[in-house]
Structure 1
Amino acid sequence: MSTLTEARWTHVAIPVRDIDRSIEFYTSVTPLVLVQQNADESGRSAWLSNPGQVQTPFVLVLGEFVPEVGARFGIVDGKPDPTFSPWAHIGIELPNRSDVDDVAAKARELGRLQWEPTQMAEHIGYICAVLDPDGNVLEFSHNQKVFATIQQLWG
């Protein structure tokens, strides 16, 4: 196991109402897998990440809080407001244009498609957006080139 030697961006955390429903959603609609679950007196959490992401781990943390703890974070009645909305989003880049269409079709069936697949400007690519169970926006893109650009610049 390596030791952290410099400051690193490691995760984004969002509150959820029903962690089991959210885990099911994220692991069936996105490429993320469940890495770890935790439970204590404050509630339950789950860590999701890309499979085998070891060199530069980045995690989406889902947190379901007991009401007293949630209230400390401004979550009233266990109903968190969307963290990523209406344009703010979690971005997931897909290798094929048809993958965006496939995600959109699945989201449409679930009643969760927010933005129909659309070809945007070259630096944005082909995108669609999906709402998670708590109303957070996930953008799925093809040819946005975030991954490739970072590898080119720093690889």
Structure 2
Amino acid sequence: MGNKDIGLTHIAFSVKDLDASLAFYEKFADMKVIHQRGERGTDARPVAWISDMTRNFAIVLVENPDSTDTKLGPFGHLGVACKSKNEMDAKLALARADGVLRKEPQDSGPPVGYWAFLDDPDGNTLELSFGQEMGYLIETSE
């Protein structure tokens, strides 16, 4: 606790089916549940905090089948960097097979890199990328 939890720590949104969303983010963003609570059919809606465990940041998913939340997208998106182009291409093959690949990959060169858009179960946009220079840009702007 303490100083680690400053700055941008999470993004939260409603999902219609928590289990479907958890499976999607585990499969395509290598995220796992770090906290879960609530119960279907009670006032305490099911909630899961998920993280890729690389930084102090989580996505908070709250199940609400009646949600009218605005979707993240079509351009607004969560961006997830892959370890390699091969890893990303393998995930894109799965996304094609699952019918969730919205935009085929393209290479936009530095600093944007190789990227593609996927649809999560609620129609939110997930960008997979390789070669984005976020860390370099942050380090050189200090």
Q: Smaller-chain TM-score range?
A: 0.7 to 0.9
1:60 positional shift: 0.5
Deviations 1:66-93 (A, max 9, x none): xxxxxxxxxxx71445531110000001
Q: Deviations over 1:31-57 (max 9, x none)?
A: 111111111624111001123x4xx41
1:143 corresponds in structure 2 to: 131
How big is each residue's C-alpha offset from its partner over 1:135-154, in whole Å with a ceiling of 9 and x where there is no partner?
Answer: 00100111111134334545
**Which residue number in structure 2 is paired with residue 94 of structure 1?**
82
RMSD of aligned residue pairs (Cα, Å): 2.1
Identity of aligned residues (%): 29
* Structure 2 unmatched runs, 5+: none
Note closer, same or farther for the CA distance 1:38–1:108 as it changes in structure 2 (3 Å cut): same
Change (3 A) 1:32 1:152: farther
Aligned mates of 2:60, 2:113 — CA distance in 1: 27
Per-residue deviation, 1:11: 0.3
CA 149–19 in structure 1, closer or farther in 2 if over 3 Å, else same = same
Q: Give TM-score, length-normalised by structure 1.
A: 0.79
Unaligned 5+ residue runs, structure 1?
66-76
Q: How does 1:1-155 map to 2 (within 5 A)?
A: 2-4=1-3, 7-39=6-38, 41-51=43-53, 53=54, 56-65=55-64, 78-81=66-69, 83-154=71-142
- Please tell me whether the aligned partners of residues 16 and 63 of structure 1 are also in contact (alpha carbons under 8 angstroms): yes
SS at match of 1:78: coil
Q: Which amino acid in structure 2 is aligned with residue 45 of structure 1? A: V
Does the Cα contact within 8 Å between 2:29 and 2:52 map onto a contact in 1?
no
Structure 2 counterpart SS, 1:139: strand
The superposition leaves residues 93-142 of structure 1 with CA deviations (integer Å, 9 ceiling, x where unpaired) of: 11211222112111001000011011114221100111100000100111
